[in-house]
Amino acid sequence: MTFSIQFVEQGSWESWFAPGALVLNDSIESFVASVDPGTEWTRRDYERQWRDGLTRIIDGESKSCLITSLPDPGQTDFLVYWPMYRVREWVVFQEKWMLPKGLPPGFDPAKPYQIVEDWISISDTGQKISEWWVAFGDVVDFVGHAAPSG
């Protein structure tokens, strides 16, 4: 599989954190999603957002994103997300981090797409932004074969 996103084996902190992996061709990007049982954002919510974010790209949107860690309100944890950009027959992924105070008022993690800026590959300071290019067909195949969840 050249593209996938999923939670992996439950860790010892399973009630608070859920380890996952994002496969982008030959690169496996590990992440740990915050799933504090006291909040309303669960593993199922992440999976639902991933499906929605990927479907948006497949259905013709030029940009979308996948959230891999949502901060608790009032905490200093970062929102970690992966903007996706459709570029011809490719989907370009970048990793971004944002403090909660940078989120727009009324931010809804189930529909986070307003935070995705237009695609650039060179930063304001002239640095190349790390990005992963995945064939569009591989994203389509993953969504077509992914097990549906709630």
pLDDT at 19 > cutoff 80: yes
Mapped onto helix, strand or coil, the DSSP state of residue 146 is coil
Amino acid at 43: R
Query: Taking the domain 42-117+126-145, which CATH number applies?
Result: 3.30.2450.20
Q: What is the DSSP letter of 130?
A: P
d(CA 67, CA 80): 6
Domains of the chain by residue range = 42-117+126-145
What pLDDT shows up at residue 71?
77
Instruction: Determine the average pLDDT of the residues in 43-68.
Output: 96
For the chain, what is the mean pLDDT?
Answer: 88
Taking only the tens place, the pLDDT of each residue in 87-115 is 999 999 999 999 888 889 888 999 999 99
Query: What pLDDT shows up at residue 150?
Result: 45
Q: Is the pLDDT of residue 58 over 60?
A: yes
Encode 17-41: b = buried (16+ Cβ within 10 Å), e = exposed. Answer: bbebebbbeeeeeebebbbeeeeeb
Q: Is pLDDT of 49 > 70?
A: yes
* pLDDT of the residue at 148: 53
